[in-house]
Structure 1
Amino acid sequence: MKIPELTVHARKTALATACVSMLATGTVVADEDTLTIGMSFQELNNQYFVTMQKALESAAESIGAEVIITDARHDVAKQVSDVEDMIQRGVDILLLNPADSVGVETAVLAAKEAGVTTIAIDAQAKGPVDGFVGSKNYDAGYKSCDYLAQKLDGEGQVALLDGIPVVPILQRIDGCTAALGEYSGIEIVDKQNGRQERAQAMTVTENIIQANPDLDGIFSVNDIGSLGALVAIEASGKDIKLVSVDGHPEAISKIQEANSPFIATSAQYPRDMVRLGLGLGLAKYWGASNVPAEIPIDVKLIDREKAADFSW
């Protein structure tokens, strides 16, 4: 008899979640040789990743583990150097949030050679990682763009505000494109890279609006970029609807404003993501053989109605 996929997923997820539960209750005690946990972020100039950092530090403190945090600032060469430095400092578990899914492979290989348990967080990394925890990013793009298409009554011109070349961003674009493709009256007229940065996204959006005077909607691959896009939309005075991905507090606040062009975002859960990542890393480090290689996390569409009750 075939076991339903949802049941298998739930059972696998529970194995890693058990480690997280023990973290919260204090029933996990580190060995007399204190664990050292390293986390390399693609950036920390974003509340999404800062929320992860705080959740990790809290969980690590509960088991008496030391934490080393680095910020790649979207520079994959710096990230590789940061990881190599952490390996020299003796990290036992590495949580890796790639600045570039392919370019970070050198760091993954170095960690593997040093015997470091490596879990990719939020974005998958090329190379022999021991596990991956991340959002269902295809669903995130799909949900946001399906909502946008509905609010446009299935007709209009839409532009895509792309980002850096990591798997989640590619999946969000794929999901968005698939959703918009289900509406024969929707046309994707432009796609440009806002690099997920507020200032860059604002400039790019200004150019998109100027080049497409009949534009009706924009999908941004993340909320920080969308906040820059929002400035450009409001300055244009045009009726252009905006959707995004993340659930950033500032984005949620903008969505709640009456008559805001920002109408929805597909929210992620960064605290859960890093806690599950640490739980999976601990399980792998301690030699568990029946834990999953990947743990996908659901996303939730947050519109104006739901925004008042949502927070990370």
Structure 2
Amino acid sequence: MTVCCLLATLTLSLCSFVSQAKTPRLVGVTVVDLGNPFFGAITHNIEQQVAASMPGAKTLVVSGDYDLGKQSTQFDNFIQAGADIIIVSAIDSQAISAAVRRARAAGIVVVAIDNTADGAQATVTTNNVLAGQQSCAYLAQRLKGKGNMLIINGPQVSGVKDRVKGCEEALKPYPDIHILSDNQNGVGTRDGGLNVATGLLTAHDNVNAIFTINDPSAIGADLAARQLQRQGILIATVDGSPDIEDALKNPTSIVASSAQRPAELAKVAVQTALQLFNQSAPAQPNQMVSPQLVTRDNISSYQGWKSQ
């Protein structure tokens, strides 16, 4: 009789556990700017990963458009919609923390992608220090250790800061390479890169190289050099986007890009979010994906984002 009761109790407990198991229904994704091809690739791959690993779940993708207030409101909208998971590429890594706290208080899993977000339970980024190092070490080699360089900076999120940090670290062994400017914000856009590069190239007659924090900025800087008829400037950047593939295959000033891997970033972010949703702590809550330097010499073998 006792055994029968014990078996009945275990059966009821098992049934109760199964009935309480949850499946994510809604994944909210907010990124810095969907006008940037990188974030388009990130969100596309997140949608694919959610469809594959969370059957029946809906993915809601929105763009913060470099507006912290807008991104904070998007968090509130996700909370009201009953999101189970939020994946965020933060416009401001620190200032977004209040929105992250509100989401977590509502029982929502928050995972940061591309940039850190204070308070997120996990973070998945490119190794942005390495990306900056790769691009600027390549420029230093091409300059043979001597020349004048501009750094076109961007919004002060963790990823941008790390890229500039990596670039400056790579240049330390080259005392004859002089950084003429490193604090001008090109906003991470083509137009921003064009405007900042135009101003800096007008102010400085002898510029040999430019490092930009992302591909759109590099496209803008290249256009500025062409419009001002400045020949021989070398431009290196970070992203590895389809636009930069075209630039590296054609006569432009762009010579290299440290390529990010949006498919791998999305895969790790979604897998980590699902682990956290199931109350299983990931082995590595903070993960970095290594970039790949792409130049005119190896562009023919570069697989690119489209193949991911």
TM-score, normalization: structure 1? Answer: 0.87
> How big is each residue's C-alpha offset from its partner over 1:250-289, in whole Å with a ceiling of 9 and x where there is no partner?
111101224x310000000011101110000001111113
Within 5 A, what are the aligned runs for 1:180-199? 180-191=171-182, 192-199=184-191
**2:5 alignment partner in structure 1:** none
Note if contact 2:275-2:282 (Cα within 8 Å) is conserved in structure 1.
no
Which of 169, 172, 177 is the matching residue for 2:168? 177
Which of 247, 250, 258 is the matching residue for 2:240? 247
Distance 2:282 2:109 in 1: 16
Q: CA offset at residue 303 of structure 1?
A: 0.3
> How big is each residue's C-alpha offset from its partner over 1:6-42, in whole Å with a ceiling of 9 and x where there is no partner?
xxxxxxxxxxxxxxxxxxxxxxxxx775521111111
Which of 174, 189, 205 is the matching residue for 2:197? 205
Q: Matched residue of 1:215: which SS?
A: coil
Question: Which of structure 1's runs of 4+ aligned residues deviate more than 3 A?
Answer: 31-34
Deviates more, 1:142-151 or 1:302-311: 302-311
Label 1:149 to 1:51 Cα distance change in 2 as closer, same or farther (>3 A). same
Which of 116, 119, 126 is the matching residue for 2:111? 119
Note if contact 1:280-1:291 (Cα within 8 Å) is conserved in structure 2.
no
Q: Matched residue of 2:301: which SS?
A: coil
**2:43 alignment partner in structure 1:** 53
Q: Matched residue of 1:78: which SS?
A: helix
TM-score, normalization: structure 2? Answer: 0.88
Q: Matched residue of 2:294: which SS?
A: strand
Q: Is 1:90–2:82 an aligned residue pair?
A: yes
Q: Is 1:295–2:287 an aligned residue pair?
A: yes
Larger Rg: 2
RMSD between aligned residues = 1.3
Within 5 A, what are the aligned runs for 1:144-159? 144-159=135-150
Identity across matched positions, percent: 28
Within 5 A, what are the aligned runs for 1:1-312? 35-62=25-52, 63-127=55-119, 129-191=120-182, 192-238=184-230, 239-258=232-251, 260-310=252-302, 311-312=304-305
Distance 1:230 1:50 in 2: 23
Note if contact 2:114-2:124 (Cα within 8 Å) is conserved in structure 1.
yes
Q: CA offset at residue 57 of structure 1?
A: 1.4
Q: CA offset at residue 290 of structure 1?
A: 4.7
Note if contact 2:29-2:62 (Cα within 8 Å) is conserved in structure 1.
yes
Q: CA offset at residue 201 of structure 1?
A: 1.2
Note if contact 2:49-2:266 (Cα within 8 Å) is conserved in structure 1.
no
**Corresponding pairs, count:** 280
* Residue ranges of structure 1 left out of the alignment (5+ in a row): 1-30
Q: Matched residue of 2:258: which SS?
A: strand
* Residue ranges of structure 2 left out of the alignment (5+ in a row): 1-20
Q: Matched residue of 1:79: which SS?
A: helix
